[in-house]
Structures are given as C-alpha cells and as structure tokens.
Amino acid sequence: MPVNTGGKPDISREKSAELYEKAKNYFPGGVNSPVRAFKSVYGTPLFIQKGDGCYVWDADGNQFIDFCASWGPLILGHNNAKVREKVTEVMQNGMSFGAPTALENELAELIIKNNKFVEKIRFTSSGTEAVMSAIRLARGYTGRDKIIKFEGCYHGHSDSLLVKAGSGLVTFGETSSAGVPKSFAQETIVIPLNDTEALTKAFEQFKDEVAAVIIEGIPANNGLLMQDPEYIQFLQNICKEHKALLIFDEVITGFRLGFEGAAGHYGVKPDIVTYGKIIGGGLPVGMYGASAEIMSHISPDGGVYQAGTLSGNPVAMAAGIAQLTELLRSGFYKDLNNKASEFAESIQRFATARNYKLKVFYVGSIFWLAFTDKGKIQTAEDIDPASMEKFKIMHRELLNRGIYLGPSGYEVGFISAAHTKIELEKAKRAIFDSLDVVFRNK
C-alpha cells in the first residue's frame, strides 16, 4: 500500500490476500485473466464471494456498489431473478449436449427479429472466438488475407489481432505478445484511429489485399474513444469502394447501447458484427452475424470452418433468452441511458466546479473517468499515461468507500438496471470525496 494520503483507512483484504497467495501456486500471476491481478492499482486483488443487484461482496465481507458488472454483460445487475430462474429451470434437463436444442432457435429468433443488421448468426463460446471466426469468414468470403485494425482497439487474444503498431503512418502489426509469430502479425495492418489519410493510404498500399477493416463499435477497451459519425460513415464507404468487409466488434457495445448496439447508434450497417457475453446474461457465450449471403460461406453450408462443442449450450441460451427479453421491454434503454447520463454529468459538474482536471466521457450506459482537460479523446495517443497515477489513488479511495471499478484506468464503467437513485447518489458522493483526495495530493 502507498503512504497515507489523508483518505479513508484501507479496508481489510486479509482473506483476499490469503487466497491470492494460494492462487499463485496454481495460476500464472495468481489469476486467470491478467487485469484481475490489480497490477495497475494498489493492493492485492479482491476475491469476490457473491453478487446481488448492483452489489458485490468480497471474501472479507466488504460490500461494494459495482460498476464493473463482470466487464459489462450484467446489464440487469448481479443474480437477476428472471435470468437465474430460467437457467435453473433449463439446468434440470441437463447442462450440455453438443447437439442442437430448441433454446438456440428461440434466442436466435429473439435477436434476428429485433436487430436489422444480421440475417443469420452463429453462436460461439466467447467474444474472442466470435471475432476470430468473423476474421476467418471475411478472408474466406473475399479470398484476401490482410486485415486492417486500429491502434487502441482490442479484439480478443487471437494471434492475428494481438498486435500493435510500429512507427509510420501505415505499418504492419508487430506482435504485442510472446508466442505470436511475426508471419501472423504481418497479415494485420495497424493504423491510428480517426485518421482518414492513414486508412486511405493503407488501401492504396495494399490494393486488393485487404479482406476487412475491423473496429470496436465504439472503442471501449482502451478508454472510451468515441468516434465521429462522419468517420464511421467514411469507414463504410471506403470498404465498399475497395470491396473489403467492415466488421463491427460489438462485444462491449452490442445490446448495451441499445438492442442494435453501435450499428444502431450510428445508423451504419457493418458487413459482419460480433457480440459477446451480454447475450448470455454474463455466461460464456459469443456470436457473430451477417447477411444470409455472407453467412452461407460458413460450414456446413460453405467452406469456412468453425465449430465448438459448447456453442449454443443450453445454459447460456437460457440466460440469454431471459436477459434479452428484459432488454426488449418498452423504455428499458431510455430509462437506463437517462440514469447513466445524469450520473456522468453530475460528476462532471462537480469536477468542473472544483477546477479538477477530469473529464467524464459516456455513451449509453458506459462511462469513463479520464484525468484530462481534453474535450475529446479519440485515439490511444490522446491518453496521458501519467494520468493513471491519479486513477490509482482514486481506485483505492473508492474501494475504501465501498465502490468497485475495474482495476485499470483504461477500463470503462457500466451502469446497470439494478443501480437505483439511492446507490448512484451514494456512489457520486464517494467519487466526489475520492477526487478531493486525488487532487489534494497532486
């Protein structure tokens, strides 16, 4: 822990710390996903014991208002009764068959009837798997090999997308993980976000070689990098011009901004869309979809192979049916997004009144607290790495005040339907007090 900054006393993490030390014997770094290790913030990871509504409790009995929401999919909150009851009902008949079930049809119909951007879909077991499959489909459909992605966008940990940019306006990707062959990364061209010149030059340099351009619907894995509608329209136009496919990775934004996600938000029709955990109520699931014509290239109809024993498993399908049915209720998104905007704007008013260098970026029910005075942050380069020191202090202060955010200043937060005005007011007060500590120690 850092020296005392005059903030709240630290909560007990004794049991979590014991569990973490034990976990180090079993897992690399003691975790099964790197950000969980709390390397970007103070203290040892919290081991969560239970969640209900907008609250989680850790192994030491500390209670927190949760804005991580299992990294977004718990749009109804933790342990939602309708999701739990549907899952429990279906589990009585078995949990995995590796064979078709009527539940797959039911969830697919629910999605396709209410989302004009897909005509046919394929369920997978994760967002990473969905994106990996979408890339393979784009390559198989176009007969081309190269993919264009953007610096600051994360699309899962498949080899060809786990790359970063080198120097220069247009560059091949360089591996950002050991174990990724350079030959894989060299099929991926990485360019800056919000740069029409870079994208134009990429298509000129690799004419007739680009299978697809992939972008997060609204980039939300490296801050909340909201793009202008004109730029998104430009992406669609240049892809059409060069007969490349436009892929929206909506693992975070899909069914979160609205039932039609970022595609509906922008009014732009991608050629392929990928979705993630939110369609399974937080259970392991993913999905990709496109027109019937493009999807006809997927095996067994076409030559692009993709499979999965747990794809469309009945437990995840049951959770998805229950959750998406709730999302389709009249006024659901209007109420949720209004609640989120009021929350974000209240924090911004407080920071502005105190002349604190903080901007609250938000869209739909997603928000990001950035220690900056920039009016817009649209690229990875716009983020000042030094600002993360302020986030570390704030994160610690918020935990001590019963507020849980994801343990990285680059991660966004999520409002759920389970957050009531009472909890949001409590959270705002905690954020105000934490910001006072941050800027008192700047």
What radius of gyration, in Å, describes the C-alpha atoms of the chain? 22
Distances (CA, A) of 434 to 68, 385, 390: 18, 20, 10
DSSP readout, 103-116? HHHHHHHHHHHT-T
Respond yes or no: is residue 154 known to be catalytic.
Answer: yes
- CA-nearest of 225, 97, 207, 203 to 153 is 225
Q: Collapse the DSSP code of 164 into the 3-class scheme (helix H, G, I; strand E, B; otherwise coil) and give the result.
A: strand
What is d(CA 361, CA 169) in angstroms, rounded to the nearest whole number?
A: 27
Respond yes or no: is residue 24 known to be catalytic.
Answer: no
CB 65 within 8 A of CB 423: yes
Q: For strands 286-290 and 120-124, give the pairing.
A: antiparallel
- Counting beta carbons within 10 angstroms of the beta carbon of residue 119, is it exposed (0 to 12), middle (13 to 18) or buried (19 or more)? middle
CB 369 within 8 A of CB 412: no
Of the candidates 58, 66, 195, 249, the residue annotated as catalytic is 249
Respond yes or no: is residue 249 known to be catalytic.
Answer: yes
Of the candidates 277, 339, 359, 392, the residue annotated as catalytic is 277
- Whose structure tokens read 């993980």? 177
CB 266 within 8 A of CB 236: no
Local structure of residue 304 (DSSP, 8 states): B
Of the candidates 154, 288, 362, 404, the residue annotated as catalytic is 154
| Residues identified as active-site | 154, 249, 277
